[in-house]
């Protein structure tokens, strides 16, 4: 009866399980000061050379206050540092510290290990199929015209900007 709700719940549970497994792997490599909420942020920062704060927020779908709090905490923990963009003094870019670079190596190893385990359990074909189905699901449900929200009840423009940016991030993911 509530299939979409059930799918959403299963996705959230699977993401939490994956995050927990990833945190355990990282803790085994000496990175015991992380919370699950930092993982998506750090993964994006590790995959992107000197992203702006706005790029990280858009890619992760986080509010400005949450972003600021997480970045402050990651800076205190010596994973990242911020630097004013020389081309636009109003913008700051985020870079990995030396400690952050060693974290990146451990993160890559941990993700590879988890992926290997998932492929061993489910098979390469099934992993690719799940990824394609989830991308299609997101693409279809994220179309504005299918949101079925009356004009007077549309989400605020800032939300829609973040939503559009998030959609473009997801659509750029390639299946290897």
Domain ranges of the chain: 3-122, 123-176
Find the DSSP H helices in the chain.
3-28, 36-47, 53-60, 64-76, 98-122, 124-141, 157-171
C-beta of residue 53 within 8 angstroms of C-beta of residue 94:
yes
Which region, left, alpha or beta, applies to residue 6 given φ > 0 means left and ψ of -120 to 50 means alpha?
alpha
Question: Between 62 and 147, whose confidence is greater?
Answer: 62
Segment of 2-6, 82-86, 153-157 carrying the highest mean pLDDT: 82-86
Task: Tell which CATH architecture fits domain 3-122.
Answer: Orthogonal Bundle (1.10)
Rounded average pLDDT over 129-136 = 93
pLDDT for 145 equals: 45
pTM metric for this prediction: 0.76
Residue 129 scores a pLDDT above 60: yes
Percentage of the chain exceeding pLDDT 70: 81
Q: Over the stretch 137-168, which tens digit does the pLDDT of each residue have?
A: 888 877 754 455 444 455 555 555 655 665 55
Is the pLDDT score of 75 beyond 90? yes
* pLDDT reading at 176 higher than 70: no
Lowest-confidence pick of 110-114, 131-135, 157-161: 157-161
Average pLDDT, integer, range 69-76: 96
- The pLDDT tens digits for 19-43 are 999 999 999 999 999 999 899 999 9
Which residues have CB under 8 Å from 175's CB, separation 6+?
Answer: 128, 131, 132, 135
């Amino acid at each position: 009866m509530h299939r979409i709700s059930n799918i959403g719940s299963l996705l959230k549970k699977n993401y939490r399980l994956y995050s927990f497994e990833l945190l355990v792997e990282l803790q085994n490599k000496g990175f015991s000061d992380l919370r699950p909420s930092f993982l998506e942020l750090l993964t994006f920062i590790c995959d992107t050379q000197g992203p702006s704060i706005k790029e990280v927020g858009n890619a992760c779908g986080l509010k400005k206050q949450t972003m600021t709090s997480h970045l402050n905490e990651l800076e205190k923990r010596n994973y990242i540092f911020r630097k004013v963009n020389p081309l636009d003094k109003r913008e700051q870019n985020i870079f990995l510290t030396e400690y952050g670079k060693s974290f990146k190596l451990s993160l890559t190893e941990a993700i590879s290990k988890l992926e290997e385990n998932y492929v061993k359990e489910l098979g390469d074909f099934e992993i690719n199929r799940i990824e394609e189905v989830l991308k299609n699901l997101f693409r279809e449900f994220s179309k504005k015209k299918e949101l079925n929200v009356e004009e007077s009840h549309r989400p605020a423009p800032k939300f829609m900007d973040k939503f559009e940016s998030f959609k473009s991030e997801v659509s750029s993911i390639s299946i290897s």
